[in-house]
């Protein structure tokens, strides 16, 4: 069976890493076998370049409870992950991490598979693009393609934040209180794929060729 043969070839590459994992993490794995206690909930894009472990050097096993999907949107699955985290893990940080050069957001401008396009539209990506396009027209701005893309990603993140905020208001008012008094941090961040910098999403849609963002 050809699929099985391919698997056999690939597994040899994974095997050495797994053996290393067993050796180095034996003690920690035992400790984590009965429970998990991550302090961070992170929703981010599936993009292989966006690893919250690498970006923030969080190598300790079990330190992050993650939800990932195309674009890092607050989808039904992401909502289920957040509910699990809030009910069972009580994270101190709720992080929404978007990134520049995001294929999910880029898909709004190109012909792509309907599964990707539908996902992006269903959870607000399409609205972000429309809002930015209207903003550029009404302000007579003709930005470079890269800057326009960044504005769409930023607007998309604000929309995801709003969705999370609305969800918490209805279902988790106690978490809202903790965010207000500083016990829980709600972090809307953007990772710049080119520079490696992380910045907070601006509070409102504002752009220019020379726009500067506040670093994390």
Q: What CA–CA distances, in Å, run from 66 to 92, 115, 198?
A: 14, 22, 18
Q: Would you state the structure tokens that stand for residue 208, as one six-digit string? A: 């220019």
Pairing of β 40-45 and β 64-69 = parallel
- State the nearest-atom distance from the C-beta of 71 to Zn ion, in Å: 6
- State the nearest-atom distance from the C-beta of 47 to Zn ion, in Å: 4
CB-nearer residue toward Zn ion: 38 or 104: 104
Residue 193 gets which letter from DSSP?
T
- State the nearest-atom distance from the C-beta of 166 to Zn ion, in Å: 23
- State the nearest-atom distance from the C-beta of 148 to Zn ion, in Å: 16
- What is the Cα–Cα distance from 98 to 78, expressed in whole angstroms? 14
Give yes or no for residue 47 binding Zn ion (CB under 5 A). Answer: yes
Give yes or no for residue 102 binding Zn ion (CB under 5 A). Answer: yes
Residue with tokens 């027209």: 137
Give yes or no for residue 45 binding Zn ion (CB under 5 A). Answer: yes
Q: Give the helix/strand (H/E) hosting 93.
A: strand 93-99
- State the nearest-atom distance from the C-beta of 80 to Zn ion, in Å: 20
Among the listed ranges 75-83, 96-104, 128-136, 159-167, the one in contact with Zn ion (CB under 5 A) is 96-104
**Is-contact 85 65, C-beta < 8 A?**
yes
Among the listed ranges 23-31, 38-46, 127-135, 183-191, the one in contact with Zn ion (CB under 5 A) is 38-46
CB-nearer residue toward Zn ion: 94 or 102: 102
CA atoms within 13 A of residue 100's CA, in its CB half-sphere: 18
Give yes or no for residue 104 binding Zn ion (CB under 5 A). Answer: yes
Give the residue ranges of DSSP H helices in 56-110: 76-84, 103-106
Give yes or no for residue 91 binding Zn ion (CB under 5 A). Answer: no
By the criterion CB under 5 A, which residues form the site for Zn ion? Answer: 45, 47, 102, 104
């Amino acid at each position: 069976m050809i699929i099985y043969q391919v698997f056999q070839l690939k597994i040899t590459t994974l095997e050495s890493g797994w053996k290393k994992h067993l050796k180095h993490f034996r003690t920690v794995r035992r400790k984590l076998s009965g429970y998990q206690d991550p302090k961070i909930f992170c929703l981010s894009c599936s993009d292989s370049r966006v690893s919250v472990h690498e970006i923030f050097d969080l190598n300790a096993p079990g330190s992050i409870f993650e939800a990932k999907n195309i674009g890092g949107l607050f989808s039904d699955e992401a909502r289920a992950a957040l509910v699990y985290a809030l009910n069972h893990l009580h994270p101190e940080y709720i992080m929404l991490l978007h990134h520049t050069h995001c294929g999910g957001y880029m898909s709004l401008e190109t012909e792509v598979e309907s599964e990707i396009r539908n996902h992006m539209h269903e959870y607000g990506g399409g609205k972000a693009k429309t809002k930015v396009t209207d903003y550029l027209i009404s302000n007579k701005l003709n930005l470079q393609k890269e800057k326009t893309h960044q504005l769409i990603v930023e607007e998309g993140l604000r929309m995801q934040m709003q969705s999370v905020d609305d969800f918490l208001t209805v279902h988790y008012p106690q978490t809202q209180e903790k965010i207000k008094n500083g016990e829980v941090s709600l972090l809307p961040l953007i990772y710049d794929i080119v520079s490696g910098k992380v910045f907070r999403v601006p509070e409102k849609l504002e752009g220019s060729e020379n726009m500067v963002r506040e670093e994390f």
